[in-house]
Structure 1
Amino acid sequence: MTRTIDLLVAGGGPAGLVTALHAARAGLDVEVWEPRPGDVDKACGEGLMPGALAELQALGVDPAGHAFHGIRYVGSGRVADADFHGGPGRGIRRTVLHRALHDAVLAAGARIEQRSVGRLVQDDEAVTVDDVRARHLVAADGLHSPLRRALGLTVPAARHPRFGLRRHVRTAPWSPYVEVHWGREVEAYVTPVAEDVVGVAVLASTRGSFEDRLRALPELAERVVSAEPASDVRGAGPLRQGARRRVAGRVLLVGDAAGYVDALTGEGLALAFAQAGAAVAAITDGVPQRYERDWARLTRRYRWLTTGLLVGTRSPLARRALVPVARALPPLFDGAVNSMARPA
């Protein structure tokens, strides 16, 4: 027998769970389908910028982690620091964040099932998947979204693909910042996530092992290689993913599934949270098509800044000059960091 619900959310990562939380609190009958068992993990930097942390706390979700007070660029033998103006961010293990959001969604009255969305059929009134007929469906099924592809919305791959790897190591955080270490062809993001654990995410335009990439950053490698691993290496990529549009009938794309440029600016979670709220508002207002315009507005700063930074750091010369320039022009660096720290 076919069941009818208001909203089906495909994907139980942060984007999908925050979507479900907004929807349940708006009075919608909502179900989340996530095929992976247990706490959902992902290769990411795990740092919530102050704006993202504030949005999470406004939802009543406040997972444990480790505070950081700004961004530090490291490279060419120099460092450049920029402190947040509006309070600290927080490094939170992705599994800890998932557990907190999962519990909040259940407490709000939504349901979470371990299953995946296969073939869907939609008409003017609903989307039908297996035994469920949903008035709307939110695809929050990740960077390589199967639903985006099935709907014919995926844009061909980028010319300059980038890949990421992340591992946690057991050591006390040595800096009050998220550190970004810049090398000739690789950069690494070091995020404190507990009193005795830091996460290290390395990004590059070539494939290679975590250890190979660390060797390109000798100062960081010296600290990390000698530390006890606290997790396995996880990978992601190619990072850049495009979508032709974010609304296809009664299906809305949220989070990485809606399109992603790069992890350079650390805004992924803030954007996912903002998109989740905008998608649910468009649905409850009866104008789901409005979400396309809202998505463009919410992500404009991120898309311009991240694309500009990617292009500007493509050459080894530019990468070598980045930290000295940030150090020489502190108001510019401070302004860029605090622009990224604001809510989307």
Structure 2
Amino acid sequence: MDLLVVGGGPAGLATALHAVRAGLDVAVWERRAGVVDKACGEGLMPGAVTALAALGALPAGHDLRGIRYVAGARRVDADFGAGAGRGVRRTTLHAALRETVLAEGVRVEQRTAHRVEQDEDGVSVDGTRAGHLVAADGLHSPIRRALGLDRPRRVRPRHGLRRHYELAPWSDHVEVHWARCAEAYVTPVADDLVGVAVLTAARGSFDDHLAAFPELRERLAGARHAGPVRGAGPLRQDTSARTAGRVLLVGDAAGYVDALTGEGIALALAQAPAAVRAVTSGDLVGYEREWRELTRRYRWLTHALLGVTRVPPARAALVPLAQRLPWLFSATVDALARPAGQHRASRPGGRPAAAVPEGEGDMCP
């Protein structure tokens, strides 16, 4: 076998698709059976829509025009300049990718990886031999940890909670509602279904956190819940490197800052072909360079937003500032919408917007 992919989520399945189309003998191991749900904002940026269409795995969903920031009575919109995004249930996305992978003849096995050994010629995972291994086993990647690539995290951990409501969407934008210690992301995912995800460092249930958004809670009142609340976190995951010998990390396993900017799927879909190029060329060092380039914009913007929003007065001023400087808000949204790897947003005249260093603490209780 040329390539073994451990992890059958979007990152792993996209990697397998690129690998088989590059002529590699590839297999996927996923410990969970069938289509898997996960706590996720479920909004695909235009770059992710383009990548999925190129793979022949674009799922049905609800088209998205852009992003809307909301804080009480204040709101500001910015439309995507790179085409429409799409709200898609995580299960629908996973099913589309899984069906495409199986149609290509890729072996998808329900197996858990326990022991990874490697030498100059290949990798052995529980006795199964492959030329290279891609670890796409998620935010808390056991393979990343076993390889010693985890780095300690100094910031207060943030978590995400998501619930679906049987309700017709009231907007064709992803709404980001801002409260003192949390954000709520409202994403239309079908004509009769809305996903609501809350990100916060504070403890509490989904309903506890929703109470911080009275207008949103009132709009959702009376709507039936479609399935249970799902959670994910801690979100921040730092890695010292994206490769170790003949092993490559792809997707959330390769490191994650925060879900604040909603780029997770788009980044995974961009990393997948980069990892396959590194395998086919034998240049794994090149993957490390390309990963840094692909994720630079995400890391820069997300660190900047987190740095600002950790301080309550600055957090409260974020939406009013976006209203006063709509060009800056639009430029930021446009940067998020473009395919990963393109140049980052800049001020009029080409001057890059200044980054704000990420804070070390969190002032919310």
**For the superposition of Structure 1 and Structure 2, which TM-score range results when normalised by the shorter chain?**
over 0.9
SS in 2 for 1:180: strand
1:317 alignment partner, SS class? helix
- Give the corresponding residue for 1:250: 246
* Structure 1 unaligned residues grouped into runs of 5+: none
Other structure's SS at 1:188 match: strand
1:166, 1:199 within 8 Å by CA — same for their partners in 2? yes
- Counterpart CA distance in 2 for 1:304 and 1:76 is 28
Paired AA for residue 198 in structure 2: V
AA paired with 1:97?
L
Say if 2:335 is the partner of 1:310: no
* Alignment deviations for residues 163-214 of structure 1 (CA, whole Å, 9 cap, x no partner): 1000100000001100000001110000000000010000001121000000
The alpha carbon displacement at 1:31 in A equals 0.5
Residue 301 of structure 1 corresponds to which residue in structure 2? 297
Structure 2 gaps, min length 5: 341-365
The residue that corresponds to 2:75 in the other structure is: 79
Output the TM-score relative to the length of structure 2: 0.92
After superposition, the C-alpha distances for 1:51-79 in whole angstroms (9 at most, x for unaligned) are 11001101111211001100000004200
Which residue of structure 2 lines up, in the alignment, with residue 105 of structure 1? 101
What is the TM-score when the length of structure 1 is the normalising length? Answer: 0.97
Q: How far apart in 2 are the matches of 1:99 and 1:265?
A: 24
Q: Which residue of 1 aligns with 2:188?
A: 192
In the TM superposition, 1:272-311 aligns within 5 A as 272-311=268-307
- Aligned residue for 2:131, secondary structure, equals strand
SS of structure 2 residue aligned to 1:289: helix
Equivalent pair of 1:76/1:324 in contact (CA under 8 Å): no
Structure 1 partner of 2:139: 143
Looking at structure 1, the residues matched to 163 and 72 of structure 2 have their Cα atoms a distance apart, in angstroms, of 24
Where does residue 341 of structure 1 map in the other structure?
A: 337
The CA distance in 1 between the partners of 2:315 and 2:43, in whole Å, is 23
**What SS is found at the alignment partner of 1:152?**
coil
Aligned to 1:226: 222
Amino acid paired to 2:100: A
Report how far residue 159 of structure 1 moved.
Answer: 2.0
Residue number among 26, 36, 48 corresponding to 2:44 in the alignment: 48
CA distance in 2, matches of 1:158, 1:238: 12
Distance 1:164 1:313 in 2: 16
Q: 2:72–2:215: 8 Å Cα contact kept in structure 1?
A: no
1:324 aligns with 2:310: no
Distance 1:65 1:248 in 2: 37
Where in structure 1 do 4 or more consecutive aligned residues deviate above 3 Å? Answer: none
Amino acid at match of 2:31: P
Moved more, 102-111 or 162-171: 102-111
Using the TM superposition, give the Cα deviation of residue 317 of structure 1 relative to its aligned residue in structure 2, in angstroms.
1.2
How far 1:316 sits from its partner (Å)? 1.6
Task: Give the deviation of 1:108 after TM superposition.
Answer: 1.5
8 Å CA contact retained: 1:76, 1:320: no
- Tell me how far apart the structure 1 counterparts of residues 221 and 33 of structure 2 sit (CA, whole Å): 31
How much has 1:119 moved relative to structure 2?
0.5
Q: Tell me, in whole angstroms, the C-alpha distance in 2 between the residues paired with 1:116 and 1:225.
A: 41
Q: Could you tell me how far 1:290 is from its partner in structure 2?
A: 1.1
CA contact (8 A) 2:78 2:329 kept: yes
Number of matched pairs? 340
Alpha-carbon contact 1:76-1:323 (below 8 Å) kept: no
Residue type matched to 1:77 in 2?
Answer: A
Partner of 1:31: 27
Secondary structure of the residue aligned to 2:175 is strand
Q: SS state of the match for residue 45, structure 1?
A: coil
Partner of 1:121, secondary structure, is strand
Partner deviation per Cα, 1:7-50 (whole Å, 9 max, x = no partner):
00000000000000000111111000001112111111011011
By how many angstroms is 1:158 displaced? 3.3
For residues 229-257 of structure 1, the C-alpha deviation after alignment (integer angstroms, 9 at most, x for no partner) is: 01210001110001110000000000000
* Aligned counterparts of 1:83 and 1:6: Cα–Cα separation in 2: 43
Match of 1:178 in 2: 174
Structure 1 residue 106, shift from structure 2 partner:
1.2
Aligned to 1:269, which of 265, 270, 279? 265
Q: Structure 1, residues 266-318: CA drift from partner, whole Å, max 9, x if none?
A: 10011000111100011111212211111011001110110010010012211
Percent identity among equivalent residues?
Answer: 66
Q: How far has the Cα of 1:226 moved from its partner? A: 2.1
Q: 1: CA distance between counterparts of 2:248 and 2:221?
A: 43
